[in-house]
Amino acid sequence: MSSFSLDNPVFRAYIVYSAILAVKVLAMTLLTAMTRVIRGTFANPEDTKMFKGAKVRYDDPAVERVRRAHLNDLENIPVFWVVAALYVSTNPVAAWATLLFRAFTLGRILHSIVYAVVPLPQPARAIAFGIPFLTTAYMGAQVILYYITAL
């Protein structure tokens, strides 16, 4: 049986957690848009014409905070999408692989919450960042070791 068969529970888990993460990334866009409207702060002159009293500013702390949380997603979530798919092909134990996918997904959702929704003191964000980071680093190392002969 191929690893990328829909009969493989690890592949099915990969698919559903990847889709949740995709929707989560899209949600950051809505959060940025909402924050911009509430703060009346936009990045383009043409955008300000849609909202009374809106201004072009690049240093609104609330908007920039959401944008940093979003950018942090872009630095980490596409890495998961690719590395977790490759990891599926190494035939990991299903329960362990699913645990890793869950830890990553939960960590990233918490990261966005403690960064951009209800900013908490450190090390809240460091932990919510670190667990997914270590998860992808571990899967990446496993994939490299498994396929090292293909170098």
**Residue 56 main-chain phi, psi, to 5 deg:** -85, 120
- Rounded-to-integer distance, Cα 97 and Cα 47, Å: 44
Kindly state whether residue 109 participates in binding its own copies, applying the rule CB under 8 A: no
Instruction: Tell me if 16 contacts its own copies by CB under 8 A.
Output: yes
- Contact string (CB under 8 A) for its own copies, positions 21-40, x = contact: -xx-xx-xx-----------
Distance CA 113, CA 58 (A): 22
Whether residue 92 contacts residue 10, with contact meaning beta carbons closer than 8 Å, is answered with yes
**Does 74 help bind its own copies (rule: CB under 8 A)?**
yes
Instruction: Quote the least distance from Cβ 94 to its own copies, whole Å.
Output: 10
- 43: helix, coil or strand? coil
Please list, in sequence order, all residues whose beta carbon lies within 8 angstroms of the beta carbon of residue 29, skipping any fewer than 6 positions away. Answer: 70
Binding site for its own copies (CB under 8 A): 2-6, 9, 12-13, 15-16, 18-20, 22-23, 25-26, 28-29, 43-44, 46-47, 49-50, 65, 68, 70, 74-76, 78-79, 81-83, 86, 89, 119-123, 125, 133, 136-137, 140-141, 143-144, 147-151
